[in-house]
Structure 1
Amino acid sequence: MKSITEQTAMAKYLIVISYDAFSEDNWEMASRLPNLSKLMKSGAHSNKLKSVYPTLTYVVHTTIATGVYPDKHGIHHNNPHQPFVKEEEQSWFWFRNAVKVPTIYDAVREHRMSTAAILWPVSGKSSIRYNIPEIRAINNENQALKVLRSGSPLYCLQMEMKFGRVRQGIAQPYLDDFTTKCAVDTIKRKKPNLLMMHLIDLDDAKHTHGTDSDEVKQVITRMDNRLGELMQAVDEAGIKDDTIFLILGDHGQFNVRYKVHLNNLLQEKGLIFKENGEMRWRAYFQCAGGAAYLHIQPGDQEAEQLALAAIEDFMKDDSSGIESVYAREALDRLHVGQSTRVMLEAKRGYCFDESLEEPTVVDLEEQGVKYATHGYSPDKSDYRCNIVISGDNVKKDYHIGDLEMVDIAPTMAKILGIDFNHCDGRPLDEIFIC
């Protein structure tokens, strides 16, 4: 396999910073802060980056890493379908082997360049040389052992010994502070050609406090400080002139007033029931915040008809929160995987939940609860993401305009001068000087 040459690459080093939930409603504030504004002036940028459906973190990050839509890469949700399992006890798509197509980090490694990743989704047990995967212990597993077995053991141990004191479990802002310190150290000591990192502070604040809260503004300021630390690390490592930064959001969020528990509808129709003391299902909604998959047991056409009739009847009530019902033809256009024949899209202000232990529609405002979430169609208004690509070979203060999440991986490949030609998207050739 050929190695990188100076003539074919835009830069020798690429630092990809996934800024979870960094969306167009944050653009005005973030773009005025010192470090992001500096990167914008020395690079290309847009607040019109279109995500993929459903707009869930693991779905989107797999598109970022592969350049293809979910119907090809196979990650349709954060979690595999696990009926009746509480959300905090569910397995996630943590491991590389769940991805059905090549990844950019595999391609970089094949071109004899080094790779690093810190809390990058769906990267467990991957080819990444320096890897702390995003993974969580469940069912009495040991968190440290699970990370070591799924990542790069020596690297994980080194980072834990140096910076583990910074972290307080998964609480923010400490987790992102830990990730940033690991990235700074990795840039200075390892100088990987590709570093991919996932920062979650903003997403967490939006979920907990709403999209327009003071807590969100505080995160945006913290994030700019973290960018400054990373920029300084590149400078101290002596690789500033040969490094490109790529900072992007994966999805937006909307404030939610009403939670809709869709599986109650199916239980009322006898499609979810108890048998011999165990919960059973003929139809089941796997919820994704702003969207929901309708799963039907194979070959049970009667269950599908009963479920669709329940949905149709429920939609007669304005409080149902259901905006659209997508059948397979529409899902094909949206590049949704073949795991379902029907999906529901929620209205703004509503989201879907799998729990069978709550009333069908819950008014969060009445309960004094602030909440926001994602998972909605990327075509909804005011729901695009932000992106900044900055470095010596990138046009200065260049406005990219509309672009898609599938364009990221081929652009990463162009930056590093490698072949990665299976993508659904295109390299952003127009942003480069040469």
Structure 2
Amino acid sequence: MESTMSEAPAAKHLIVVSYDAFSEDNWETASRLPNLSKLMKNGAYSNRLKSVYPTLTYVVHTTIATGMYPDKHGIHHNNPLQPFVPEEDQHWFWFREAVKTPTIYDAARKQGMSTAGILWPVSGKSSIQYNIPEIRALKGENQALKVLRSGSPVYCIQMEMKHGRIRQGIEQPYLDDFSTQCAVDTIKRKKPNLLMMHLIDLDDAKHMYGTDSEEVHEVLLRMDHRLGEIMQAVEDAGIKDDTVLMVQGDHGQFNVRYKVHLNTLLQAKGLIYEENGELRWRAFFQCGGGSAYLHVRPGDEEAEALALAAVEEYMNNGASGVESVYDRDKLDRMHASPYTRIMLEARLGYCFDESLDEQVVVDLKAHGIRYATHGYSPDKSGYRCNIVISGAKIKHDFAIGDIEMVDIAPTMGRILGIDFSHGDGRVLEEIFAK
């Protein structure tokens, strides 16, 4: 659907900071820090932003950019299905062509607006004018070349030459410091109408150290400092009165003690087997932390029945990590991708892993491992995200209340004066000062 100019824009410039894994459990601390609290004072905010299912970064970011649920936009997971490929060797949904619906950055370009993207997921080879896409080299590939081929070559080279020394591969805090300096530079020199950036430090810290760790607290402080740098860049560029800054999380995380290897259950039933030295499957679980898709070979109804029986047998075991088996009716109500007929939801304290392991359940605590993850149902308690939308024409110190992830893109459109109301969400009209 074509996007058109609607009513007068609320701002000429919109900066969207995706603060990965910024969720309600971080709200009390973050909202008291100098820069986020300043944005809140001059804007609207909520710690009741509901995500989409499954709560995986690429699924959610595609909803943020399209205003559509996963059942329409086509990104069901971070990765396409790749049975038996180790996680670090898997392809991801890196490229814009995988998204089946219009994006806000395409709509902005059609209106002649300038756009920038810094590590925005699923934006490789997209229309974004100044684009450093989030993408990773696999075995035999060159990282720099892959970025150049998938992004804006001249812009990528300029940013690398000016700020590349900050980065140390994908290690934090250096990666987010690099992204922030690229954003500061881009705001001051390019003054894009729409800048969308993805900061990952908090998500990484939660995964590695748990949600309630000192490391997470340190990231919240670093993130507030980064926000301050972006706010200062807006001021230095002379566009403060005509800029809206949006800071938002995409999902929460939960601490995990037990990792469940679902495909080991299927292997025990002969649904995963070896043939001529190669692993084969009749049924396979594609796992996403707190959830898992059950795949069966087309037409193999027996495999589905055997897989579900294996799950039921496991659930009857008192220590089962499976909370629910969602059928298609339930998944349709959750607007989950029509990718498979069955999904499993993990209990709190458990997550799913698709690698084959001799043990079905591994106790991470017994191995001295701290870990947290996401992918769970957005309906789980204590799992909402935070958002702050700040600018001259936004109501000041205004609590929005309950909102949906699909509401973000149409609201971005309304801020820029673009009609982007064809999706599943609504414009958050209540945030605008009359």
1:419 deviation in Å? 1.7
Q: Which amino acid aligns with 1:212?
A: D
Note the residue ranges of structure 2 that are not aligned, 5 or more in a row: none
2:364 maps to which residue? 364
Find the residue that maps to 1:395 and give its secondary structure: coil
1:338 deviation in Å? 1.3
1:3 deviation in Å? 8.2
Give the Cα–Cα distance (whole angstroms) in 2 for the partners of residues 274 and 139 of structure 1. Answer: 25
1:257 maps to which residue? 257
- CA-based RMSD: 1.1
Deviation string 1:153-193 (CA, Å, 9 cap, x unpaired) is 00000000000000000000000000000000000000000
Q: Which amino acid aligns with 2:161?
A: M
1:322 deviation in Å? 0.4
Q: Report 1:170-181 matches (<5 A).
A: 170-181=170-181
2:40 maps to which residue? 40
Give the Cα–Cα distance (whole angstroms) in 2 for the partners of residues 9 and 290 of structure 1. Answer: 39
1:299 deviation in Å? 0.3
Q: Which amino acid aligns with 1:133?
A: P
Find the residue that maps to 2:366 and give its secondary structure: coil
Give the Cα–Cα distance (whole angstroms) in 2 for the partners of residues 362 and 420 of structure 1. Answer: 46
Find the residue that maps to 2:82 and give its secondary structure: coil
1:420 deviation in Å? 1.3
1:388 maps to which residue? 388
Q: Report 1:232-247 matches (<5 A).
A: 232-247=232-247
Whether 1:283 and 2:283 are equivalent positions in the alignment is yes
Q: Which amino acid aligns with 2:362?
A: V
Evaluate the alpha carbon distance shift between residue 56 and residue 2 of structure 1 in structure 2; reply closer, same or farther with a 3 A threshold: closer
Find the residue that maps to 2:65 and give its secondary structure: helix
Q: Is the 8 A contact 2:3 2:419 kept in 1?
A: no
1:318 maps to which residue? 318
Q: Report 1:208-357 matches (<5 A).
A: 208-357=208-357
1:168 maps to which residue? 168
Give the Cα–Cα distance (whole angstroms) in 1 for the partners of residues 420 and 431 of structure 2. Answer: 18
Q: Which amino acid aligns with 1:264?
A: T
2:132 maps to which residue? 132
Give the Cα–Cα distance (whole angstroms) in 1 for the partners of residues 330 and 363 of structure 2. Answer: 30
Give the Cα–Cα distance (whole angstroms) in 2 for the partners of residues 24 and 31 of structure 1. Answer: 10
Note the residue ranges of structure 1 that are not aligned, 5 or more in a row: none
2:376 maps to which residue? 376
Give the Cα–Cα distance (whole angstroms) in 2 for the partners of residues 68 and 419 of structure 1. Answer: 15
Q: Is the 8 A contact 2:252 2:374 kept in 1?
A: yes
Give the Cα–Cα distance (whole angstroms) in 2 for the partners of residues 235 and 94 of structure 1. Answer: 33
Give the Cα–Cα distance (whole angstroms) in 2 for the partners of residues 275 and 8 of structure 1. Answer: 64
Q: Report 1:393-408 matches (<5 A).
A: 393-408=393-408
Q: Is the 8 A contact 1:115 1:130 kept in 2?
A: yes
Evaluate the alpha carbon distance shift between residue 358 and residue 136 of structure 1 in structure 2; reply closer, same or farther with a 3 A threshold: farther
Q: Which amino acid aligns with 1:416?
A: L
Give the Cα–Cα distance (whole angstroms) in 2 for the partners of residues 149 and 318 of structure 1. Answer: 51
Deviation string 1:87-116 (CA, Å, 9 cap, x unpaired) is 000000000000000000000000000000
Deviation string 1:390-421 (CA, Å, 9 cap, x unpaired) is 00000010000000000000000000001212
Give the Cα–Cα distance (whole angstroms) in 1 for the partners of residues 4 and 351 of structure 2. Answer: 48
Give the Cα–Cα distance (whole angstroms) in 1 for the partners of residues 416 and 433 of structure 2. Answer: 15
Evaluate the alpha carbon distance shift between residue 405 and residue 2 of structure 1 in structure 2; reply closer, same or farther with a 3 A threshold: closer
Deviation string 1:2-31 (CA, Å, 9 cap, x unpaired) is 9869x6100000000000000000000000
Deviation string 1:124-162 (CA, Å, 9 cap, x unpaired) is 000000000000000210000000000000000000000
Whether 1:108 and 2:108 are equivalent positions in the alignment is yes
Report sequence identity in percent: 75
Q: Is the 8 A contact 2:48 2:403 kept in 1?
A: yes
Evaluate the alpha carbon distance shift between residue 418 and residue 263 of structure 1 in structure 2; reply closer, same or farther with a 3 A threshold: same
Find the residue that maps to 2:231 and give its secondary structure: helix
Find the residue that maps to 1:28 and give its secondary structure: helix
Shift >2 Å, 4+ stretches: 1-5
Q: Which amino acid aligns with 1:205?
A: A
Give the Cα–Cα distance (whole angstroms) in 2 for the partners of residues 397 and 40 of structure 1. Answer: 6
2:15 maps to which residue? 15
Q: Which amino acid aligns with 1:330?
A: K
Q: Is the 8 A contact 1:3 1:112 kept in 2?
A: no
2:421 maps to which residue? 421
Find the residue that maps to 2:195 and give its secondary structure: strand
Deviation string 1:328-378 (CA, Å, 9 cap, x unpaired) is 100100111111100000000000001113410000011110000000000
Give the Cα–Cα distance (whole angstroms) in 1 for the partners of residues 312 and 267 of structure 2. Answer: 16
Q: Is the 8 A contact 2:261 2:359 kept in 1?
A: yes
Deviation string 1:279-315 (CA, Å, 9 cap, x unpaired) is 1000000000000000000000000010010011110
Q: Which amino acid aligns with 1:424?
A: D
Find the residue that maps to 1:320 and give its secondary structure: coil
Q: Which amino acid aligns with 1:412?
A: M
Give the Cα–Cα distance (whole angstroms) in 1 for the partners of residues 205 and 227 of structure 2. Answer: 18
Q: Which amino acid aligns with 1:421?
A: S
Whether 1:78 and 2:39 are equivalent positions in the alignment is no
Q: Please say which of residues 352-361 and 144-153 is displaced more in the overlay.
A: 352-361
Q: Which amino acid aligns with 1:287?
A: C
Q: Which amino acid aligns with 1:391?
A: G
Give the Cα–Cα distance (whole angstroms) in 2 for the partners of residues 324 and 212 of structure 1. Answer: 26
Q: TM-score scaled to structure 1, two decimals?
A: 0.99
